[in-house]
């Protein structure tokens, strides 16, 4: 059976991921993502109202024109998890394909919300839920099967899809960390990866998330971040003034830790900001997390302001607002707090906890610096970098290669410089560029078997 990989987006950058795998006549698309930084550099852009071609020109969403060269029918669109760089282009591109979106329940719910907010296109693809550990037949050949293997990432309900073909498995490895003790959900299913590496024809191809491939060692478990966060928050137990925390709003495990430690030190947590409400609300509704019954989540400006007023009245010392703004985004809640634009008044000695790392790009670094300066001018004391990455470091990649023993590897989710560490690793494991190590770019086709 002919197996062909179209590397459509995210092979020259982090963002706008999209990859298609053709097995005979059947095609499965993995991820359709949005590169938000390509949007934000322009003033006054509203992606909801924009046409896909304009977004392609901006480099914001994948250029999927190469799909017409794939001789097969798209049978499924499979986002691996709910981050925007993996699902953000579904509302712009999915309607072109007569295929369902297949994903885990939490991811499906986020896709649904995104499709609903879309204003330019009507997206009517079926949304099909499938859990980690489950499989689905693809196409009519009876020979191709889609499996979801549970992985651990900085968002819940993440999987690595595996396309089983007569020629071996194609493992789409975006995005994950090798976490044996995640705070929510099951550990990464390394046992299943090892089985896939050994069973049948083994692994024909492994497409790997190279975000951190240049970083040494092992990405720590979320438990390590949780232990670190606990250390910080417990150390503030005696403080009677204001404490504010921020993290990635989609990072439910982290939000859960913040909520729990807030209670442990005698504070009522409250989630503030639209995306905080969206992600945590969804996770709770779907049963992924069991927040305290009285946990407030407020997204609309009015209810946020009302909450802040209540906090000021009842005493900042009784609350832990968990807000947006970890990258210093100019309009996010925490930045506005630094500017004194909310009813929450920071005072000398108040604490601000960034349970996140600055995404290393000068724009973010500049904005975060401004935000910290503003907070500092109000007297805030800053705690930063209480975080672990959601992506494999070098030794995680090494262990995945040991587990899967793939015949071909394709580095993804980085630019050329970002691939370099992975190339070195793969070569030290006996792969050879141009033979079985495919360093590629957006818009290419790689034929694996004929």
Tell me the binding residues for substrate: 387-391
Q: Does 266 bind a second copy (CB under 8 A)?
A: no
Cite the annotated binding site for Zn(2+) by residue number.
81, 83, 85-86, 153, 175, 413
Q: Does 53 bind a second copy (CB under 8 A)?
A: no
> Which of the residues 395 through 414 are near a second copy (CB under 8 A)?
395, 398-399, 402
203 within 8 A of 169, measured Cβ to Cβ: yes
Least Cα distance to 24 among 160, 143, 135, 136 occurs for: 143
Least Cα distance to 343 among 318, 377, 313, 298 occurs for: 313
Please list, in sequence order, all residues whose beta carbon lies within 8 angstroms of the beta carbon of residue 129, skipping any fewer than 6 positions away: 102, 103, 104, 105, 108
Closer to a second copy at the Cβ: 44 or 68? 44
Span near a second copy by CB under 8 A; candidates 109-117, 219-227, 255-263, 300-308:
219-227
Round to whole Å and give the CA distance between 182 and 190. 14
Span near a second copy by CB under 8 A; candidates 146-154, 251-259, 261-269, 384-392:
384-392
Q: Does 122 bind a second copy (CB under 8 A)?
A: no
Round to whole Å and give the CA distance between 6 and 67. 8
Least Cα distance to 16 among 153, 174, 147, 227 occurs for: 174
- What x-and-dash track marks residues 231-250 binding a second copy by CB under 8 A? xx-xx---------------
Q: Does 366 bind a second copy (CB under 8 A)?
A: yes
Among 133, 217, 266, 292, binds a second copy (CB under 8 A): 217
Q: Does 434 bind a second copy (CB under 8 A)?
A: yes
> Which of the residues 331 through 350 are near a second copy (CB under 8 A)?
339, 349
Least Cα distance to 229 among 359, 355, 349 occurs for: 355
Closer to a second copy at the Cβ: 157 or 222? 222
Residues that bind a second copy (CB under 8 A): 41-43, 178, 180-181, 214, 216-218, 220-221, 223-224, 227-228, 231-232, 234-235, 339, 349, 361-370, 373-374, 377, 381-386, 395, 398-399, 402, 415-417, 419-421, 423-424, 427, 432-434, 439-441, 444
């Amino acid at each position: 059976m002919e197996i062909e990989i179209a590397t459509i987006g995210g092979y020259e950058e982090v963002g706008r991921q999209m990859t298609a795998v053709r097995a005979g006549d059947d095609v499965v698309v993995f991820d359709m993502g949005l590169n938000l930084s390509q949007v934000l550099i322009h003033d006054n852009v509203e992606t909801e109202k924009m046409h896909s071609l304009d977004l392609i020109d901006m480099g914001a969403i994948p250029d999927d024109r190469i799909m017409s060269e794939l001789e097969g029918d798209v049978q499924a669109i499979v986002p691996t998890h709910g981050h925007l760089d993996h699902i953000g282009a579904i509302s712009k591109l999915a309607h072109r394909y007569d295929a369902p979106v297949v994903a885990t329940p939490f991811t499906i719910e986020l896709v649904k919300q995104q499709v609903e907010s879309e204003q330019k296109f009507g997206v009517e693809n079926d949304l099909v839920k499938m859990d980690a550990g489950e499989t689905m037949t693809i196409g009519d050949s009876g020979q191709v099967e889609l499996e979801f293997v549970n992985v651990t990432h900085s968002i819940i309900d993440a999987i690595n899809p595996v396309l089983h073909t007569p020629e071996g498995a194609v493992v789409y490895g975006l995005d994950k960390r090798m976490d044996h003790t995640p705070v929510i959900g099951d550990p990464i299913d390394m046992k299943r990866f090892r089985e896939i590496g050994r069973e049948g024809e083994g692994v024909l191809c492994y497409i790997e998330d190279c975000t951190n491939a240049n970083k040494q060692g092992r990405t720590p478990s979320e438990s390590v971040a949780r232990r670190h966060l606990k250390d910080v928050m417990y150390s503030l137990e005696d403080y009677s003034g204001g404490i504010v925390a921020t993290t990635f709003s989609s990072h439910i495990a982290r939000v859960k830790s913040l909520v729990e430690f807030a209670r442990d030190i005698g504070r009522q947590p409250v989630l503030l900001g639209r995306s905080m409400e969206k992600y945590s609300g969804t996770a709770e509704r779907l049963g992924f997390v069991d927040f305290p019954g009285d946990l407030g989540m407020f997204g609309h400006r009015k209810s946020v302001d009302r909450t802040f007023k209540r906090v000021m009245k009842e005493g900042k010392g009784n609350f832990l607002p968990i807000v947006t703004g970890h990258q210093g985004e100019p309009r996010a809640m925490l930045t506005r707090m630094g500017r004194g634009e909310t009813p929450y008044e920071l005072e000398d000695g108040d604490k601000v906890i960034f349970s996140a790392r600055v995404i290393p790009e000068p724009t973010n670094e500049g904005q975060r610096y401004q935000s910290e300066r503003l907070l500092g001018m109000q007297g805030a004391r800053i705690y930063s970098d209480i975080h672990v990455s959601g992506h494999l470091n070098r030794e995680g990649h090494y262990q995945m290669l040991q587990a899967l023993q793939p015949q071909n590897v394709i580095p993804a989710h980085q630019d050329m410089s970002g691939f370099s560490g992975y190339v070195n690793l793969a070569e030290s494991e006996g792969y050879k560029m141009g033979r079985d190590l495919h360093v590629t770019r957006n818009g290419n086709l790689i034929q694996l078997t004929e």
